[in-house]
Amino acid sequence: MDIKDVPNWVLSLDEEDLEFIKKFVINSGSLKQIAINYEVSYPTVRLRLDKLIEKVKLNDADENEEFIKFIKQLSIDDRINLEEAKLIIDKYKKERSEGQ
């Protein structure tokens, strides 16, 4: 595969994310086994996977507006919680639709 054929969402991942995906595949998707490998609890691994899923979704969705991508990224980075991100995005969408 040529570098130009690599999807943007893959290129947006950092080395730690790629290592997690590699371990996930090697362990046949067993979060329990990954928790053992990382010496953390299952819920910790599940949270890590959920954040990775959100990161992939965010970077794979080109149709997202810049502001919404920014808010989602703040949530993924734990700078704001998910509920706050949803409130901000909903308010933004409502005000945007009222202005049209």
Residues 22 and 53 in one domain: yes
The count of domains in the chain is 2
- pLDDT at residue 36, rounded to an integer: 96
Q: Do 37 and 55 belong to one domain? A: yes
Task: Judge if 84 and 43 occupy the same domain.
Answer: no
Give me the mean pLDDT over the 36-45 stretch. 96
Same-domain pairing of 52 and 68: no
Q: Judge if 69 and 43 occupy the same domain.
A: no
Quick one: 2 and 28 in the same domain? yes
Per-residue confidence band for 73, with pLDDT thresholds at 50, 70 and 90: confident
Claim to verify: residue 13 and residue 56 sit in the same structural domain: yes
- Residue 95 is predicted with a pLDDT of 86
Cα 33 to chain centroid distance, Å, stands at 21
77 shares a domain with 54: no
Query: What's the number of CA atoms in the CB half-sphere (13 Å) around residue 12?
Result: 15
Helix (H) or strand (E) holding 85: helix 82-98
